[in-house]
Amino acid sequence: MADWLTRGCWALWRHRCRRDVRHFRAALKNPEAAQAAQLRSILRLAEGSQWAKKFGMNQATTLEDFRARVPVQDPPRLTVWTDRIMRGETQVLSRAPLERLVPTSGTTGPSKLIPMNRESRREYAIAVNLWLHDCLAQCPAIMNGRAYIATSPAIDPEPNESAVPIGFAADSAYLGYWEARLLNRILAVPTQVTQQRGTAWRNATREHLFQASDLRFLSLWHPGYLEALFEPQEFAELRKRWKNLSLISCWSDGACRQQCDHLMAHFPRARHHPKGLWLTEGAVTVPLGTHRPIALNSGFFEFEAADGTILLAHQLDRNAHYRPILSNHAGLYRYRLGDKVRVDGHIGHTPSLHWVGRADRVIDICGEKLSDAQIAIALGAVGWKQAFRIAPIRDEHPPYYRCLVNETASKFPIQAFETALRRNPHYNWARQIGQLAPLHVQAVIQSSLAEPITADQPQQKVLYLCE
């Protein structure tokens, strides 16, 4: 039985979620009006910025004018604006003070930088509150103990001359003031542990979790996360220590389905709670019962159909596939995301979306998202000019990537290539905690390989990735 203070903190957090839940449930009934309000708020904050002046935007701009004047942008086009921010220019994308630039995996090339301000953190906090409220509604027993909410440890950013901080914010920064303080009381692993690096972080996390006999709730991103922290033979002991574990929240769509089933088999008495589609750029969907409706109050969304038609949230057809396009309060405007979703139903008049996979050429094991462009850059960094392919090996513990080279080729510079790949912050993080094993090399026959990009064919589409 949890002590009264832990239960009280859970109850207070649930109470603080209710306003966001009430507004969200109202929005579900009229997504068109809710999204129109989001766009007005976004454009109000953008008014007077360099971006708004270029495109003639202000708080009175209509939806039709916004879509007519502002083109849909892919991630590389954001660099024009973030470079200005790094040079120290102000009010570049919005009038709100920018807090930091957050690196993504950069699936179309080098790591991209996503602007973050107080307003975009609030968008995330709304999604977190909706998720937590649904967890408590589905499994009230989690209030009888503590939680482990997997967070990113401190990662030192690459040296830069940016006028604003570059790097990940503390996970508590995505919460409201009181929510962040309530979180500290219910966590099995203190937030201070996330400030540690590498082995120190891993050892401290393991020690706290082994001692957490009152653990009721696990929140992970990738279902393979725990297997990076603990050896297979340790799970029997964890089951004994976490005998009252009630709920596990983690990804379960797409390629994560098998690993999610494997994780839940370790803890057969616990229930599974799916996550919504949450990205560095923002939250696209949130879980609500058996559905994952669009996060209507966490940004303005459009959806690109297979034929290129751009639709609004209330215009989507059941069973159709779309690619989300996000506009938010931090300065992402008609920003094309790299994911593909399918409409699997509706709540009220709002579509519920199932994550199908990546829309671009990406391979992924635990959230690191390696693309052809990244592989090409890493190969160029190590001077490799011979044929090459890379494949994910998911059925090993821990999983890893296998580099395939010609059996007659010279020795592949595996360590230098690994170093180049670790410029992807999510790949680097997965390697740091042991969620991914080091790269392996295998010699194969030439015909199964792709030729690298040549200097006279810089735009050539080379398929380095294979499943």
pLDDT at 343 over 90: yes
275 and 380 belong to one structural domain: no
Residue closest to 360 by CA, chosen among 92, 155, 74: 74
3-class state of residue 180 by DSSP: helix
- Burial label, 252 (beta-carbon count in 10 A; 0-12, 13-18, 19+): buried
Q: Is residue 453 part of a domain?
A: no
Please say if the pLDDT value at position 45 is more than 90.
yes
- Both 345 and 372 in a single domain? no
Q: Name the nearest CA neighbour of 421 among 398, 392, 449.
A: 392
439: containing domain: 362-448
d(CA 294, CA 346): 10
CATH of the domain at 395: 3.30.300
**Domain-embedded: residue 463:** no
Q: Are residues 181 and 325 located together in one domain of the fold? A: yes
Any residues with CB less than 8 A from the CB of 191 and at least 6 apart, and which? 151, 170, 171, 172, 183, 184
Residue 464 lies in a domain: no
Between CA 114 and CA 191 the distance in angstroms is 24
For residues 312 and 368, membership in a common domain is answered with no
Look at residues 360, 384, 403 and tell me which one is the last residue of a structural domain. Answer: 360
User: pLDDT at position 245, please?
Assistant: 97
Asked if 296 and 395 sit in the same domain, the reply is no
**Is residue 311 in some structural domain?**
yes
Please tell me the predicted confidence (pLDDT) of residue 278.
92
217 in a domain, yes or no?
A: yes
Q: What is the pLDDT of residues 253-291, one digit of tens each?
A: 877 888 899 999 999 999 999 888 999 899 999 999 999
| Burial letters 371-396, b for 16+ CB under 10 A, else e | bbbbbbbbbeebebeebbbbbbebee
> Please, what is the Cα angle at 187 between 186 and 188, to 5 degrees?
120
- Shared domain check, 383 and 346: no
pLDDT band at 454 (very low <50, low <70, confident <90, very high): very low
Q: How confident is the model at residue 458 (pLDDT cuts 50, 70, 90)?
A: very low
- The verdict on residue 459 lying in a domain is no
CA distance 173 to 179: 10
Instruction: Report pLDDT digits (tens) over 309-336.
Output: 999 999 999 999 999 999 999 999 999 9
pLDDT, the chain, mean: 87
Report the distance separating Cα 364 and Cα 48, nearest Å.
40
Tell me: do 381 and 351 sit in the same domain: no
Give the DSSP letter string of 291-320. B-BB-TTSSEEEEE-TTS-EEEGGGPPTT-
Q: Nearest 5°: CA angle at 456, between 454 and 458? A: 65
> Rounded to 5 degrees, what are φ and ψ at 377?
-65, -45
Last residue of some domain: 360, 383, 398? 360
Domain boundary residue among 324, 342, 360? Answer: 360
Whole-model pTM over 0.75: yes
Q: What CATH number corresponds to the domain at position 184?
A: 3.40.50.12780
Of all residues in the chain, what percent are helix, strand and coil, respectively (each to 5)? 40, 20, 40
Query: How many angstroms separate the CA atoms of 22 and 129, rounded?
Result: 11
303 with 408, same domain? no
Residues 303 and 400 in one domain: no
pLDDT score for 159 = 62
Torsion-angle region of 327 (φ positive above 0: left; ψ -120 to 50: alpha; else: beta): beta
CB contact at 8 A, 376 and 405 = no
The 10s digit of each residue's pLDDT in 62-102 is 999 999 999 999 888 899 999 999 999 999 999 999 999 98
- 153 and 198 housed in the same domain: yes
CB-count burial class (<10 Å; 0-12, 13-18, 19+) for 245: buried
Question: Cβ neighbours of residue 37 under 8 Å, at least 6 residues apart?
Answer: none
For residue 73, tell me if it sits in a domain: yes
Tell me what pLDDT residue 459 has.
Answer: 36
Read off the pLDDT of residues 151-175 as tens digits, 9 standing for 90 and up: 765 555 566 678 898 876 666 666 6
- As a whole number, mean pLDDT of residues 194-203 equals 81
54 plus 104 within the same structural domain: yes
Q: Is residue 189 part of a domain?
A: yes
The angle formed by the CA atoms of residues 168, 178 and 124, to the nearest 5 degrees, is 40
Pair 169, 31 in one domain: yes
Overall number of domains in the chain: 2
